[in-house]
Chains A and B, each alone.
Chain A
Amino acid sequence: MKDFDSLKTLWEQAGDDLSPRDNKKVHWSNQSRNYKLNLQNQQLRGGILLIFTALLIIAMALFADFYKTFITYIGMYLLSVICLAQAILLLYTWQKIKNIDETLPPHQHLQQWEAYYNFRKKLIKWNMPLYFIFLNLAMGIYLFDIFQARPIVNVLIFLAIYFGWMVFAYFYLGKRVIRKEEFKLKTIMDNLKQLEAQLTGE
């Protein structure tokens, strides 16, 4: 019969080597960390892409040789400003996720994710429709002059394709991305709640 103190002595004498055993029953999960990186990269990629888009539009306005008037210039500059503003917002969000400190105790770590989740929910509520409206307004200003000299059939075909794509992007693609993001956020928070419960034994 050994008491705890004997076990402690045994532990202190122990080396730190153990032979591997059958690990088939063990499920490794690095889910939360992967999801964090995934959410972070999504914002970073979006931000960089929008900056390039804005720069491309500015370059086109300045150097490309095609039909341009005062109104098309306004449309193009507005488009770049909207893209840049959205890029800033995405990079700010990226920074916010990056700042979440995974080295804190689970309870505080969870609080940070909850704060981010609330921030993100509020942001999506106003940012998505506003970005969509302003983007289309700027596009409308740009196209207004372009369409003046075009046959009505061509204009209608273009508008049908354009609005079709916009509706698909907003109501299907956009919502799907948000659903996925919400799933990842909730998974991270649930994992942290489980972790906290394991430690506190609740």
Chain B
Amino acid sequence: MNQHKKKFTELYNEHAPGIRKLCLGYTGDGAMAKDLLQETFIAVWHNMEKFRGDAKWSTWIFRIAVNTCLSHLRKKKDPLVNMDELPLAGIADETHHKEQEVQLLYKCVSQLAEADRLIITMVLESKSYTEIAAITDISENNLRVKIHRIKKQLTEIYNRYERF
């Protein structure tokens, strides 16, 4: 049990920041991201004995996070963020303010289709294509095409709203 707890703490310390950013990219909301992060690590705690070592710990944990995110908000039909809700006017006034640029980036990520948000967040987190393919169970070729399309889409959304 102690060993289990020690390993869990180690995994949490190592992967929680990345998972939190994944959840932030997915929800565009700090409080919801915190809930999803918590759900993910509850699932990690309960399933640690099922880890068979055929993937890296990080792949396994990110897969749980991806499944948790998608299954929690899957029922949502409308886009997560209504563009009208974005504080774009404020951003336009202080265009070069770094923090606001970051906030806008998070909001733009959350404008993408649900699975796309997760994929692009992992790209932004510098995960390799091989690992993202293993996490999402998508073939690497298919993934490359997807990522190319999502990158283009995200850049377009960001630039469109930065111009305001």
Contacts and interface: CB of A to CB of B under 8 A. Distances in A.
Contacts of A200: 138, 142
A15 B60 CA distance: 24
Contacts, number: 131
B76 A2 contact: no
A105 B136 contact: yes
Given A20-B30, A195-B70, A105 B102 contact: no
Contacts of A101: 47, 50
Most chain A beta-carbon neighbours within 10 Å: one of B51, B67, B125, B154? B67
Contacts of A25: 76, 78, 80, 82
Contact of A1 (B21, B28, B106, B159): B159
B33 A18 contact: yes
A201 B24 contact: no
A190 to B, nearest CB: 11
Given A7-B155, A102-B67, A22 B85 contact: yes
Contacts of B106: 14, 18
A128 to B, nearest CB: 31
B158 A7 contact: yes
Contacts of A32: 71
A29 B47 contact: no
A199 interface: yes
A185 to B, nearest CB: 16
B154 A26 contact: no
A13 interface: yes
Interface of A: 1-4, 7-8, 10-23, 25-33, 101-109, 191, 194-196, 198-201
B91 to A, nearest CB: 13
A80 B20 CA distance: 53
Interface of B: 17, 20-21, 24, 27-33, 39, 43, 47, 50-51, 60, 63-64, 66-67, 70-76, 78, 80-82, 85, 98, 101-103, 105-106, 113-115, 123-126, 136-138, 142, 146, 151, 154-155, 158-159, 162
A2 B73 contact: no
A119 B70 CA distance: 28
Given A27-B76, A105-B63, A198-B70, 4 more contacts: A2-B162, A7-B124, A18-B24, A23-B31
Tell which of A15, A21, A22 has the most Cβ of chain B within 10 Å: A21
Given A16-B20, A198-B70, A29 B75 contact: yes
A105 B59 CA distance: 11
Contacts of A17: 30
Given A25-B78, A29-B75, A200-B138, A14 B63 contact: no
A27 B146 CA distance: 26
B102 A13 contact: yes
Given A18-B28, A18-B106, A199-B115, A2 B158 contact: yes
A4 B151 contact: yes
Nearest to B103: A18
